[in-house]
Chain A
Amino acid sequence: MKRNLFLFLCAAIALMLMAACGAQPQPAAPEEPESAEAEPAEEVAEEEAAEEPAEEVAEEETAEEAAESAETMRGTGDTLNILYWQAASTMNPFLSGGTKDIEAASVVLEPLARYDENGNMVPWLVEEIPTVENGGVAEDLTSITWKIKEGILWSDGTPFTAEDVKFTAEYCLNEEMGCNALSYLGDVESVEAVDDLTVQINFGVPKPFPYGPFVGATIPVLQKAQFEDCMGVKAQECTDQNFAPIGTGPYKVTDFKANDVVVYDINENYRDPDKPYFSQVIFKGGGDAAAAARSVLETGEVDYAWNLQVEPQILDSMAAAGKGTVVTAYGTSVERLMVNFTNPDPALGDLRAVWTEDDPNPHPFLTDPVVTQALSMAIDREAIATQLYGAGGKPTCNVLPAPEIYVSTANDGCLEQDIEGANALLDEAGIVDTDGDGIREKDGVPLQILYQTSTNSVRQSTQALVKQWWEQIGVGSELRNIDAGVFFGGDPASPDTFQKFFADIEMYTNNFDGTDPESYMGNWLCKEIPNPDNQWIGNNMPRYCNADYDALVAQMSETAALEDRAELAKQMNDMLMQDYVMIPLVHRGDVSAHSNTLEGVRMNTWDSELWNIADWTRASE
């Protein structure tokens, strides 16, 4: 609400100033910005989603072999037009405002290793992925050593060395800089350039999963020579560097217009003499998701469009024009209902929704698993997924929906809506409607829920559906939506943030970067509970505190074997689901579209969608 006020004030100022002079400017009615959590940074491609691109790749390889007799494929293509309806604001991923910037930069800047479309790590600028077996990771798990491939050059022709990697870590670790990839360098103590092509990263604690630094598009390597004078506060001032970083990728930046367009030309020093195929790439921004979808699917003006969160019916009718293909990849994003275990009653004043060890301040009815189970049973997840998310969602009963090895099947019963069962459950527990108003009471407290989320048309439709189902089991709800900028903004002075959670139920999507769920599962530790003492910073929105759960998290941080880690993650997921800490609704995918003439796209949600742009080609018509 407050954020709406902000938009309104901005618009009002602009309008007053302009209207004062008689002519009418267009009313400023901006599109709701796609909230950040709607663009998961890195997610995985589902098996089935990956199948089709894999075929395309096979075709492309034969095409390449055929072309080998001819001299080289490099630069034989025309211009590749990419449309990200949220334009890139900067080309420096460490100062970026979100996925759009990171992906724009990923065409130029590369990490040491990437995730492929199945979430597997692939060595990118290095010889191999270090493991304990091949000696790349120390036995005590406190260091990892990467061997850089020989002969990699920056686009300015200078060699790529271990010094660049070391520098990038120092650049981001600088406290005055405000580096948004800082969490990837968690526990990093030092980075050593052993020799030109060997870099060793030392951790302060044993890291069972040491692949945080320099794996994935979020944390690529910058050139030391270019960014040397941009440390700390000066990082902000290096506009030339931030707008045109020198990279090792297949393309280099030739023109950058902030919040509008990026033009790339071929990097002549790219390591594969046969690639890339396209002679130029234009990365255009602006408009909205529907217009972007139209440009690929209906008019065919662009070759690739990203993040097409469009109503399923509209997307289907556009795809029917036959000019392009919609591609989806499922990562770790789950739209879920968070259940407030503390009492958010305004009458409590300063103690509202505050959990402390001595006084858990329990919610009058949501701490009863019978109530939350009934709430979950009443929801038809299939209907929400197909009607509101279309290609971009499928029903789920887990908060940890991917990668495959971590997925539990213990909770799949929730996929079936069961209103009768939910009613019976509540009746049995003696939670019945005593005063005849259609709403059940538990110990005299009516089951009346304040249900909040961010402003977004899909979310408001979900709210309306859920409200209607809950009514059928005698649970009343009041719907509320808050602008994404305020809701996710985390301003400790605002009562409307998702951390303060001054409501009974709140709904949003969360996910984790990369493929390792350890830190994500740590979100529901007792110490992660937001409260006034920690300025409401913390990820445990439901205020769930369970010593058994904390013990599992601790155990995982000491476990290195993948199978054991998976088993632990499943246990944690099941514990959260069976205690109804969260009610998962939809496993959300990333939806993009590419032109039918574009080949080689392997839709990737774990890394940048443009991760293999060097392999993209145009089908000969």
Chain B
Amino acid sequence: MGRYLIRRLLTAIPTLIAISFVIFAILDLAPSDPTGNLPLTIPPEVKEQIRESLGLGQPFHVRYLKWMQQFFITEPLNILEETTGIAIGDSEGRFRLRSWQTRGPVIDLVLERLPQTLWVVGLAYLVSIVIAIPLGVISAVKQYSWIDQVATIFSMIGFSVPTFFTGLLAIIIFSVHLGWFPSFYDTTHQVTDWESFVFQIKQIILPVSVLALFQTATLNRFTRSSVLDNLPQDYVRTVRAKGFREYYVIMTHVLRNSLIPVVTLVALGIPTIFGGAIITEQIFRINGLGALLIIAIQGSDIPVVQSLTFIFAILIVLFNLVADVIYGFLDPRIHYS
């Protein structure tokens, strides 16, 4: 197991380097201009100076190597220094990876936005797992019952109606007409007492439900079909023939076997939590990572786009590994040696 892990981690390094090159190259080759959105009243000579000040005059390979150095050496060192308080080398003179829009360090932007994304998108993910898996099992066991039909209808709605529609619908019903919940997320709100906690719940409820509806739909259908695949299997008949109660049969034997593909789906879905729900964050004005990515793309803020996409790449590679490791625990037939 240990050797397997090390081998996997080592093969991840060239993968990530290749990904980093592809991301950097594609974004660099794409036509975009950070001064393109400036007012026309700013003369072209001044725009040229602004471009130079952003370091756009240098050749491709120099900028790529600089970015690599900033991403893999400078920024991790900075985070280390900030968390431990120990100064390593010339911490003042290091050239940090900066956003073109804010001129602030990219990593600070990411760290500032991570908690909101984890709260909202993470919570929605959790809610959808808690609802989807039991519902999927019930749907499968009581196939074609009314509960299965209702779950199926809901899944179809959640699956096929996009969040930019359900989000707006929720705002119009619950904020505009009923006035129950705020239509956008107050990012300066701090939970200090019961009242502010209630407010936090109120402002989080709409985006979480919109996202959860969508994710529940996917997971629910997946669980249902996986359980259905397992129910007619020989081993289930054997357990039943032994006279165990149906509850035990389902919970101990069927569920464990059915969960293998579901776990993959859940584990591989975790990086998307960090990616944020781009549209939903935009609609509810949550200052998460998804919203950051959109603003950066719109403003041609290439350093932020490059860094975010690359962080997502790292997370995906990592959670692929995690999913593989979890298999080993769930399914004794899989051995890593």
Residues of A within 8 A of B (CB): 2-3, 5-7, 9-11, 13-14, 17-18, 20-31, 33, 35-37, 39-41, 87, 89-90, 92, 95, 97-99, 175-180, 182-183, 233, 235-237, 239, 242-243, 255, 257-261, 263, 282, 284-288, 291, 294-295, 298-299, 301, 484-486, 488-491, 494, 499, 508, 510-513, 537-538
Please name all residues of chain B whose beta carbon is closer than 8 Å to the beta carbon of A177 when the two chains form the complex: 49, 53
Is the CB–CB distance between A29 and B103 below 8 Å? no
Instruction: Given A23-B265, A28-B294, answer yes or no on A490-B102 (Cβ-Cβ < 8 Å).
Output: no
Look across to chain B and name the residue whose beta carbon is closest to the beta carbon of A11. Answer: B297
Whether, in the assembled complex, B275 has its beta carbon less than 8 Å from a beta carbon of chain A, the answer is yes
Known: A10-B309, A490-B36, A494-B31. 8 other contacts (CB 8 A): A21-B269, A21-B271, A21-B272, A90-B102, A178-B49, A284-B285, A285-B285, A537-B44
Residues from chain A with a CB closer than 8 A to the CB of B299 are 33, 89, 97
| 30 A-B interface contacts by CB (under 8 A) | A17-B309, A18-B272, A20-B268, A20-B316, A21-B271, A23-B268, A26-B163, A28-B293, A30-B282, A35-B37, A41-B41, A89-B102, A89-B299, A90-B103, A92-B103, A177-B49, A178-B52, A235-B53, A236-B53, A237-B98, A239-B104, A242-B102, A260-B113, A284-B184, A286-B287, A287-B283, A299-B179, A488-B37, A494-B31, A511-B40
**A259 contacts across to B, CB distance below 8 A:** 101-102, 109, 287, 291-292, 295
Known: A21-B316, A177-B53. A13 touches B23 (CB 8 A): yes
Q: Which residue of B lies closest to A290 (CB)?
A: B168
Residue B241 interfacial (CB < 8 Å): no
A99 to B282, CA, bound (A): 21
Select A22's contact among B48, B171, B182, B264, beta carbons within 8 Å.
Answer: B264
- Asked if A95 meets B33 with Cβ closer than 8 Å, knowing A25-B272, A28-B294, the reply is no
Contact A236 B37 (CB under 8 A): no
CB distance from A453 to the nearest CB of B (A): 14
Q: Quick check: B188 and A282 within 8 Å, CB to CB?
A: yes
B21-48 interface with A by 8 A CB criterion: 23, 26-27, 30-48
- Contact of A14 with B312 in the complex, beta carbons under 8 Å: yes
| Residues of chain A contacted by B320 (CB below 8 angstroms) | 21
Chain B residues with CB under 8 A of A9? 26-27, 30
4 closest Cβ pairs, A-B complex: A178-B53, A21-B268, A489-B33, A489-B36
Chain B residues whose CB sits within 8 angstroms of the CB of A23 once the complex forms: 215, 218, 265, 268-269, 272
Closest B residue to A537 by CB, please name it: B44
Does residue B328 face the partner (Cβ distance < 8 Å to A)?
A: no
User: B187, A257: Cβ atoms under 8 Å?
Assistant: yes
- Give the total of B residues in contact with A, Cβ under 8 Å: 88
Which of B35, B44, B109, B312 is within 8 Å of A17, CB to CB?
B312
Q: Are A180 and B50 in contact (CB under 8 A)?
A: yes
Find out whether the CB atom of B27 lies under 8 angstroms from the CB atom of A486. Answer: no
Please report the C-alpha to C-alpha distance between residue A5 and residue B30 in the assembled complex, in whole angstroms. Answer: 7
Q: Is the CB of B176 within 8 A of A490?
A: no
Do B316 and A491 have beta carbons less than 8 Å apart? no
Indicate with 1 or 0, residue by residue over B109-139, a CB within 8 angstroms of chain A CB atoms: 1001100000000000000000000000000
- Knowing A14-B293, A27-B279, the reply to whether A2 touches B31 (Cβ < 8 A) is yes
Would A36 and B103 be within 8 Å (CB), given that A18-B271, A22-B265, A491-B31 are in contact?
no
CB–CB A18/B312 < 8 A? yes
Taking a contact as CB atoms closer than 8 A, the residue among B48, B278, B309 that contacts A25 in the complex is B278
- Interfacial chain A residues near B35, Cβ < 8 Å: 489-490
Asked if B76 is an interface residue, CB under 8 A from chain A, the answer is no
Complex contacts, A90 vs chain B, CB 8 Å: 101-104
Q: Tell me the bound Cα distance from A538 to B50 in angstroms.
A: 17
Query: A490 and B44: CB pair below 8 A?
Result: yes
Interfacial chain A residues near B269, Cβ < 8 Å:
21-23
A291 touches B283 (CB 8 A): yes
Whether B183 lies near A36 (C-beta < 8 A) is no
B residues with a Cβ closer than 8 A to A are 23, 26-27, 30-54, 96, 98-99, 101-105, 108-109, 112-113, 162-164, 171, 175-176, 179, 182-184, 186-188, 214-215, 218, 264-265, 268-269, 271-272, 275, 277-280, 282-283, 285, 287, 290-295, 297-300, 305, 309, 312-313, 316, 319-320
List of A residues within 8 angstroms of B277 by Cβ: 25-26
Q: For the complex formed, measure the closest distance between the CB of B92 and the CB atoms of chain A, giving whole angstroms.
A: 10
* A263 vs B271: C-alpha distance when bound (angstroms): 31
Contact A263 B298 (CB under 8 A): no
Please state if A25 and B275 are interface contacts (CB–CB under 8 Å).
yes
In the complex, A91→B46 CA distance in Å? Answer: 20
Contact residues in A for B294 (Cβ distance below 8 Å): 28, 30
CA A62 to CA B179, docked complex, whole Å: 35
- CB distance A98 to B38 under 8 Å? yes
- Pairwise interchain contact A258-B109, C-beta atoms closer than 8 A: yes
Q: Is the CB of B31 within 8 A of A258?
A: no
The answer on a CB contact under 8 Å between B39 and A295 is no
Closest to B41 in A: A513
A396 to B104, CA, bound (A): 43
| Complex alpha-carbon distance, A298 and B182, angstroms | 12
Shortest C-beta distance, A541 to chain B (Å), equals: 11
Q: How far is the CB of A213 from chain B (nearest CB, A)?
A: 15
Which residue of A is nearest B43, CB measured?
Answer: A183
CB distance from B67 to the nearest CB of A (A): 16
Q: In the assembled complex, how far is the CB of residue B173 from the closest CB belonging to chain A, in whole angstroms?
A: 12
Chain A residue nearest to B182 (CB atoms) is A301
Bound-state CA distance A259–B290 (Å) is: 12
> With a CB–CB cut-off of 8 A, which chain A residues contact B295?
87, 259
Identify which of B26, B40, B313 gathers the most chain A CB atoms within 10 Å of its CB. Answer: B40
- Distance of A486 from chain B, by nearest CB (Å): 6
A239 touches B309 (CB 8 A): no
Bound CA span A512–B275, Å:
40
B288 to chain A, nearest CB (A): 10
- Complex-state Cα separation, A13 to B28, whole angstroms: 13
Residues of B within 8 Å of A21, CB to CB, are 268-269, 271-272, 316, 319-320
**CB nearest to B179 among chain A residues:** A299
A18-B312, A90-B102, A175-B49 known; A3 and B31 CB under 8 Å? yes
